[in-house]
Structure formats: structure tokens, C-alpha cells
Amino acid sequence: MIEYVELADAQAATGIRIVVAGLVPSPWSEATKGLFKVAGIPVKCVRTQRNHADIVAWTGIDNVPIVLNGDEPPRTSWAAITGFVARLAPGVLLPDDPRQRAQHMGLIEMIAGEDGLGWSARAAMISANGFPAPVNARLATRYVGGSDRVARQLAILGERLAEQQELGHAFLAGPTIGALDVYAATFLSPLTDLDETACPRLLPPLRAAFGMAAKAFAHHVPDALWAHRTRIMNDYLGWPIEI
């Protein structure tokens, strides 16, 4: 359901188009792709490369992911993207009940928001100078702090999974897969050993950068959460990771 296309093809299209990281399995980009996969919504997808001035000229956005739908303003934040896809697939990604929906979005914010799990993983890569110097310098202005929260954030996700399993549910979101499962699985990728079998197209220098986050935080991940990620990747999001 994810059709990778060239920029010109995406610009000429009128349906839903997404722009994602093309060099690394950025969890924000991978989660966006995962939401559309789970929702069963076909999209055209453009990969960014090192110089993405053409993307900025088209969208006015210098960051990914970007979701475009017709003439609507681009959506770039995790919350806007999640809400948009959930609206297109009612009852699939988020609960209909407002209280439960708020709880789910709060847990996703802990993963994908500022000072969230992904934020801390990115900061760990930057602090270790894991990216090429110009990229590292640019990202350093965006991602700071947060690492002291990682252990508790992962523990909360582990507790959530245990609670759901006690209820007989196989997912963080309840009896069926939801947005929370997608975010938990994709945002654990930087904490894993992303070798050539896990993400074949990841370049060696960037593979080493992702390894730095794994060294910092992987030991905090509960075993059950690792098992959950493996199942979600294998059964729903696709394995190995395609960038």
C-alpha cells in the first residue's frame, strides 16, 4: 500500500502523498508509513536524500515526515498525522471513546513527542557525533536533553503491555492493533542492532549512529516489549525495514 515514487510523480498526484526519510529508518517516518499500512490506506511515498531543497521548495517544510492531501496544508507533527489517518480509518488506529483516545494519544506523546523516547534516542546519537558533521550540527539545535526519562518511559510501556495481556489482549492498544502499537514498535528500532539483515539499505556510517542509541538505552527495554516489537514488525509493518 506504500508506493514509492519520484518527486515529480508525487507533485502531479492529487491524493495522499507522504515524504519520509530516505537514508535512515527515522522512527517518525517509519511510524507514518506504519499508520497507513495498518489503516489499509494506499499512499504515494517520496524518499528524501541528503539535499532535499526540492522538497522544501514544494512543501515549505524542512523536516520529515510530511503528509499531503489534496490542497490541504501539509501535516508534519506526529499528532496531526496520527489524527488524520485515524479519521480516514475510524475505529482502527484510535479508540472512538474520547477518554480512551486521550489516553492513547498521551502514551504516543511519551514516545514521539518532545523529550519522548525518540527524542532521547536522537539526542544520544547527536551527542556521540554519530551523524556527518553538518547534519549533526543542524540536529543538535533541535534535540537536547530527555535521556533521564527513558527508563521510566520504557517501564510505563512495559506496564501497559502487561496490563493488556492480563486482560487477554495481544496489543498495547487492546484486542486489535492500533496506533500505539505502531509507535512503540517503530520507535524501538533505534535501540536495536540494525544490522544488514534488519535494514539492508542503511549506510554503514549511519548504521553506527543508530548503534549509539542502542548502547545507551537498549538495556532498559523489557523483554516482553521486545517480543511485542518483533511481532508487530513481522506481522504488520514489514520486515526487514525498507527505507
Least confident of 107-116, 201-210, 234-243: 201-210
User: pTM of the predicted model, to two decimals?
Assistant: 0.94
Same domain, 112 and 187: yes
Q: Is residue 243 part of a domain?
A: no
Same domain, 141 and 233: yes
Q: What is the pLDDT of residues 146-200, one digit of tens each?
A: 567 999 999 999 999 999 999 999 999 999 999 999 999 999 999 998 999 999 9
Could you tell me the residue range of the domain that residue 44 belongs to? 2-88
Give the up-direction half-sphere exposure of residue 117: CA atoms within 13 A in the CB hemisphere. Answer: 31
Give burial (CB, 10 Å; 0-12/13-18/19+) of 10: buried
Residue type, 193: D
How confident is the model at residue 90, as a pLDDT?
A: 95
Q: Is the pLDDT of residue 50 over 90?
A: no
How confident is the model at residue 208, as a pLDDT?
A: 84
Residue where one domain finishes, among candidates 42, 62, 88: 88
Q: What is the pLDDT of residues 110-160, one digit of tens each?
A: 999 999 999 999 888 876 656 666 666 666 666 665 567 999 999 999 999
Instruction: Reduce the secondary structure of 63-83 to three states and give it as a string.
Output: CCCEEEECCCCCECCHHHHHH
Q: Is residue 124 part of a domain?
A: yes
Q: How many domains is the chain partitioned into structurally?
A: 2
Residue where one domain finishes, among candidates 64, 88, 112: 88
The whole-number average pLDDT for the span 195-210 is 89
Rounded Cα–Cα distance for residues 207 and 194 (Å):
7
Q: Is the pLDDT of residue 78 over 60?
A: yes
Residue where one domain finishes, among candidates 67, 88, 109: 88
Q: Is residue 152 part of a domain?
A: yes
